[in-house]
């Protein structure tokens, strides 16, 4: 009997040693998956074409983990890859992060004060989230699917932001347990979210949108060129409920269809520009008492300024709903702000046999001039607007003059496939090539900024003819970090993040 007990004791020790957490030594070393296998004492192993993260892995402050080859990485249940240094994922085709047991899942990736990390062409599935704490990273051309591991102690979004300002571009989010991207209500984060697809998220059917954000940092929050489709019946597309302020929010050129609601700004202290979005058929829950607005504005708004222009808002249960003391600008021809020009197309929004293109449930008047309402008949337009003429305690919606259909120069939401900005290699040290194409003759500027928005170098400031060019930049004297390369022409403004890794 003693021998049998000893055998079980030894076996238990061996299993725990193989699953011990591993921290890289913090010696400014670059690691790859194979060197982790060789040095992690069983925490990372390789078999049958896959790498196995058998325990929690931490890449220490001065270290870098590079995954530049195609790979499959499988995580043990409830484990995390922690990045205190730098993570660079840039394969030829793809890297897959998945669970050893897809029924039990793993936690995901956590970044702590990691500003030079870049994730490209990663498919991440059967996890909880990527969590960013004080980390301004680049996430590009990735797929996030079926990330449904969630408890109350974990992040509720597939990408969770805590005091972080990442760029999230050209990705696809589907099958998230709750939101695809979210942040704390009172922890300022300013992501740039461009050219992504959000589809079928919030499988828990909780009352949450696909992007669910709180307060913002001083730099702008940008949500541009994305597509939001068919989340669960309790999910909207985009919502902001900050405890704090949002000094600059830009939501433009998005397609927002078949959600519970479109865009909701639910607190004061928000300065927003909502431009050239298609907000269409957000009616999937079907209950007008619970949602269905194309645009919903609520909260205490004495310090807010929101301009709504050039959007197409149609076939939602409610077009634009305005509550509490909110006062968006839907178009004012006397405004000193030249962006406040209306030119929205608003029609066909309704429920229960009635049309509700605008519902002004406030005591203030609302400017909604120079928009097209699907008709030029003012009586018909008035009948689709709820304001003082319907309920004496409400404010007036000033919708005159109207714009005729020929006055609307509506811009389809498309990505310009001719103009581009590309950089390679990325990351780099010390030299990077900047390739770009411009559509029109004119002055072209290429400037480099750090993450605080300070200009650190000018690559070009000259008159160029339309065409394709390549410039070279040598980053003399700059420390390892992420920098923004911005291309500015008379008609365009493009930006890319690059990392200097020494």
Q: Residue 320 is encoded by which pair of tokens? A: 């634009």
Contacts 24+ apart (CB under 8 A), 134-138: 134/162, 134/163, 134/164, 135/83, 135/111, 135/164, 135/166, 136/164, 136/165, 136/166, 136/451, 136/482, 137/111, 137/164, 137/166, 137/167, 137/482, 138/166, 138/167, 138/169, 138/482, 138/497, 138/499
Give the integer Cα–Cα distance in Å for 146 and 477: 43
Q: Residue 355 is encoded by which pair of tokens? A: 């049309």
Instruction: Cite the DSSP H helix spans in 307-466.
Output: 378-383
Q: Give every CB contact of residue 99 below 8 A, 6+ residues apart in sequence.
A: 74, 75, 77, 105, 106, 125, 126, 127
Largest CA distance in the chain: 95
Q: Is the peptide bond before 425 cis (omega within 30 degrees of 0)?
A: yes
Q: Residue 331 is encoded by which pair of tokens? A: 């178009």
- Residue 5, pLDDT > 50, answer no
Helix (H) or strand (E) holding 228: strand 227-229
Cα-Cα end-to-end distance for the chain? 59
Q: Which of 144-148, 304-308, 388-392, 427-431 has the lowest mean pLDDT?
A: 427-431
Q: Residue 47 is encoded by which pair of tokens? A: 């078999």
Q: Residue 68 is encoded by which pair of tokens? A: 């530049």
pLDDT in tens, 32-78: 999 999 999 999 999 999 999 999 999 999 999 999 999 999 999 99
pLDDT in tens, 246-267: 988 999 999 999 999 999 999 9
Query: Which residues is 309 bridged to in the sheet?
Result: 275
Question: In the chain, where are the structural domains located?
Answer: 1-127, 420-500
Q: What is the pLDDT of residue 255?
A: 95
Q: 9 by DSSP, 3-state: which? A: helix
- C-alpha distances out from residue 489 to 223, 252, 466, 493, Å: 21, 20, 11, 6
Q: What is the pLDDT of residue 391?
A: 93
Query: Which residues is 161 bridged to in the sheet?
Result: 132, 183
Is-contact 357 382, C-beta < 8 A? no
Q: Residue 312 is encoded by which pair of tokens? A: 């197409």
Interior/surface letters 280-303, b for 16+ CB within 10 angstroms, e for the rest: bbbbbbeebeebbbbbbbbbebee
The Cβ-side half-sphere exposure at 123, using a 13 Å CA radius, reads 14
> Which of the four pLDDT bands, split at 50, 70 and 90, describes residue 18?
very low
Helix (H) or strand (E) holding 2: helix 2-18
Q: What is the mean pLDDT of residues 10-25?
A: 56
Number of H helices and number of E strands within the chain? 3, 49
The architecture in CATH of the region 420-500 reads Sandwich (2.60)
Q: Which of 71-85, 100-114, 275-289, 484-498 has the lowest mean pLDDT?
A: 484-498
Is-contact 250 226, C-beta < 8 A? no
Q: What is the pLDDT of residue 273?
A: 94
- Residue 409, pLDDT > 60, answer no
pLDDT, mean over the chain: 88
Give the integer Cα–Cα distance in Å for 417 and 163: 33
Q: What is the mean pLDDT of residues 200-216?
A: 93
């Amino acid at each position: 009997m003693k021998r049998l007990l000893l055998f079980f004791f030894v076996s238990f020790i061996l299993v725990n040693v193989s699953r011990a957490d591993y921290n890289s030594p913090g010696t400014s070393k670059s690691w790859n998956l194979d060197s982790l296998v060789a040095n992690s004492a069983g925490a990372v192993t390789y078999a049958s074409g896959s790498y196995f993260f058998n325990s929690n892995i931490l890449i220490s402050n001065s270290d870098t983990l590079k995954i530049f080859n195609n790979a499959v990485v499988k995580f043990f249940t409830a484990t995390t890859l922690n990045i205190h240094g730098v993570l660079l994922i840039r394969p030829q085709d793809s890297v897959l992060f998945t669970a050893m047991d897809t029924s039990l899942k793993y936690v995901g990736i956590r970044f702590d004060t990691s500003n030079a990390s870049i994730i490209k062409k990663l498919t991440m599935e059967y996890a909880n989230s990527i969590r960013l704490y004080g980390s301004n990273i680049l996430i590009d051309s990735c797929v996030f699917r079926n990330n449904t591991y969630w408890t109350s102690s974990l992040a509720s979004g597939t990408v969770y932001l805590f005091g972080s300002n990442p760029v999230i571009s050209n990705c696809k989010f589907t099958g998230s347990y709750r939101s695809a991207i979210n942040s704390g209500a009172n922890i300022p984060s300013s992501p740039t979210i461009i050219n992504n697809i959000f589809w079928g998220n919030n499988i828990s059917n909780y009352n949450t949108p696909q992007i669910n954000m709180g307060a913002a940092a001083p730099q702008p929050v940008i949500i541009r060129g994305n597509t939001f489709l068919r989340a669960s019946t309790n999910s909207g597309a985009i919502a902001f409920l900050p405890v704090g302020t949002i000094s600059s929010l830009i939501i433009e050129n998005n397609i927002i269809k078949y959600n519970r609601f479109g865009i909701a700004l639910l607190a004061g202290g928000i300065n927003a520009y909502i431009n050239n979005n298609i907000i269409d058929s957000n009616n999937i829950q079907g209950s007008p008492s619970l949602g269905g607005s194309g645009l919903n504005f609520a909260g205490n708004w004495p310090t807010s300024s929101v301009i709504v222009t050039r959007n197409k808002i149609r076939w939602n249960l409610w077009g634009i709903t305005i509550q509490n003391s909110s006062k968006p600008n839907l178009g004012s021809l006397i405004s000193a702000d030249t962006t406040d020009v209306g030119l929205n197309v608003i029609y066909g929004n309704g429920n229960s046999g009635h049309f509700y293109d605008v519902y002004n449930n406030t005591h203030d008047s609302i400017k909604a001039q120079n928009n097209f309402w699907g008709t030029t008949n003012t009586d018909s337009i008035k009948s689709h607007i709820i304001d003082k003429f319907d309920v004496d305690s409400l404010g007036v919606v000033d919708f005159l003059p109207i714009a005729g259909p020929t006055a609307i120069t509506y811009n389809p939401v498309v990505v310009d496939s001719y103009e581009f900005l590309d950089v390679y290699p990325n990351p780099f040290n010390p030299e990077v090539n900047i390739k770009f194409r411009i559509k029109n003759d004119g002055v072209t500027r290429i400037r480099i900024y750090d993450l605080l928005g300070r200009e650190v170098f000018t690559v070009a400031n000259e008159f160029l003819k339309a065409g394709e060019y390549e410039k070279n930049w040598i980053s003399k004297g700059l420390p390892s970090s992420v920098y923004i390369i911005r291309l500015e022409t008379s008609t365009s403004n493009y930006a890319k993040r690059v990392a200097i890794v020494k």
